[in-house]
Structure 1
Amino acid sequence: MTQPVLPTTHVAPPAVARSWWRRNQIRLAPWIFLAPGMIFFLFYVIFPIFQSFQISFYQWDGLGEKTFVGLYNYEELYYDDAFYTSLRNNVIWLVLYMLAIPAGLFIALFLNQTVVGIRLYKSLFFFPFVISQVVVGLVFSWFYDPTFGLLNTILGTFGAGPINVLGDERYVTYGIIAAGLWPQTAYCMILYLTGLNAVDPEQIEAGRLDGAKGARMLWYVVLPQLKPATFIAFVVTIIGALRSFDLISIMTNGGPFGESRVLAFYMFEVALSEYGFRYGYGAAIAVVLFLIMMVYITFFLTKMYRDERGR
């Protein structure tokens, strides 16, 4: 008599414990990709900032022993006329550099239209952004030249006498700022062109149905959607105005009579140039410049955060 065949039951194998990496892979993967950039940012940005604060309390030529002098460098800044000249010029840079933001916006609005030859216009307006600041400085130095410069040639056709823009302490800062506005406007234009590509066409159509046209459409429909681009434009323009150095170095080297200095250039002069390698004093200027920059950036970050929470 044969025995009945009983059905076999499938026994699942024991669960294999997943490794720690498999359990945390999704959570850790972004940090692994961010780690190289964060390490570079830590060592090349954050650490030098704290090092500048530390060096500003010392008298040091960069080679010998440091001598702790406390707040003496900052006290010397208080009585330094060249520091106040540089600070005044930085304020002028900061105010006039803001013209790049509305100029970039209106150029972007024009280039966002469908007109004949728009690619050529875009190339012409984009050109200043891709060329070096050194080239910009040289071009404008030739443009301002009192003997053969195009500016004085144009003024001569109207009977006006030649103006030595870079040699006159009354005009030199404004002449350099005009040179800096050329590429900065192109940069703001690119930011706004990118923002205009993300504008919701349905909101534009709804605005038209409500009768919004021209300036009303721009103010109430388009600009609110360009807030991220505007924020970035403000931040990069403020930073560009406060760290201006290369155009001044190329066009005037701080002259005439030091009237075109800004804080970044004056810091270079006292730390690495004719003033005898005063690293501590240069670091004190760098700290002041950093604090001014942080005040403006913190203001805009706070305002943007409040606007986001208010939505």
Structure 2
Amino acid sequence: MTAQTDPQGTSWWRRNQMRAAPWLFLAPGIAFFALYVIIPIFQSFQISLYRWDGLGEARYIGLDNYDQLLDDAAFYTSLMNNVKWLVLYLLAIPGGLFIALFLNQQVRGIRLYKSLFFFPFVISQVVVGLVFAWFYNPSIGLLNPVLDLFGLGPMNVLGNPSTVTYGIIAAGLWPQIAYCMILYLTGLNAVDPDQVEAARLDGAKGLKMLWYVILPQLRPATFIAVVVTVIGALRSFDMISVMTNGGPFGSSRVLAYYMFEVSLSEYGFRMGYGAAIAVVLFLIMLVYIAFFLWRMWREEREG
């Protein structure tokens, strides 16, 4: 079969090669993204409308799973913990920025310092959780001896419902700050030296140089850092699973972990109820990131 040609004898492929070639390269990635991301999202919405144990016949119950969420104290505890994660996890962004500014210096031994700050990023989240669980251990951990040096009493961070969430967040911030630091180090390499030099000639230095010259050029890095940090805060699971299993008394649960519990744990394989929690988590994430994208687009348009 010959390719379709126009009256001049040119094939369709030759006339549309520049437009079609990028889509051919993107097609495998788009197919996998649709198969493993987009379709499961819609399936979660569908499953949340059913009562289903994952094996037997699913029974349609409409919005009953969402109605049950409104009266579920464990759901509100998980939601509140997610808010704490979201607010405190954003500290990784300024933390990573200031470490990147420190490491972006031409001083002796700076490569060693970069390696030390980069080290947390390459460690598995499970390993980080185990290390901090040992550090917080009231019997053999290092936290209480350090507190004794300052005259403070012993603490059981992971055994106290009022401190357990903050202890896990502190553990999660360690590798997250390292990740943001890498993003900002990459962004600092792209900063225009001519703008920096012109600002110096105008007398800008210190915070003024940072705020008016450096940070505007780091917007792409900031955007990625915020999106990744927000997603990481809202889907936090592995640290909680390793360090506390949601305890004590369910006080360290977040939505992702509670979804796992009700779907695949001792709550009886309630797949529909777990899917409803997943939908709520997805909508929170979608609204937050969409708002940030809108702000970035508006700032770029005004700029």
* TM-score (normalised: structure 2): 0.96
Unpaired segments of 5 or more residues in structure 2?
Answer: 1-6
What is residue 203 of structure 2 aligned with on the other side?
211
Alignment of 1:64-143 (within 5 A): 64-143=56-135
Unpaired segments of 5 or more residues in structure 1?
Answer: 1-14
User: How far off its partner does 1:24 sit?
Assistant: 1.4
Counterparts of 1:144 and 1:18, CA distance in 2: 72
Alignment of 1:151-300 (within 5 A): 151-300=143-292
For 2:53, the aligned partner's letter is: D
For 1:209, the aligned partner's letter is: L
* TM-score (normalised: structure 1): 0.94
User: How far off its partner does 1:16 sit?
Assistant: 6.9
For 2:61, the aligned partner's letter is: V
**RMSD between superposed Cα atoms in Å:** 1.0
For 1:214, the aligned partner's letter is: G
User: How far off its partner does 1:20 sit?
Assistant: 1.5
What is residue 12 of structure 1 aligned with on the other side?
none
For 1:279, the aligned partner's letter is: M
Counterparts of 2:207 and 2:108, CA distance in 1: 24
Alignment deviations for residues 60-88 of structure 1 (CA, whole Å, 9 cap, x no partner) = 00111110001100000000000000000
What is residue 7 of structure 1 aligned with on the other side?
none
What is residue 10 of structure 1 aligned with on the other side?
none
Counterparts of 2:113 and 2:62, CA distance in 1: 56
User: How far off its partner does 1:116 sit?
Assistant: 1.2
Higher Rg of the two aligned structures: 1
User: How far off its partner does 1:185 sit?
Assistant: 0.3
What is residue 43 of structure 2 aligned with on the other side?
51
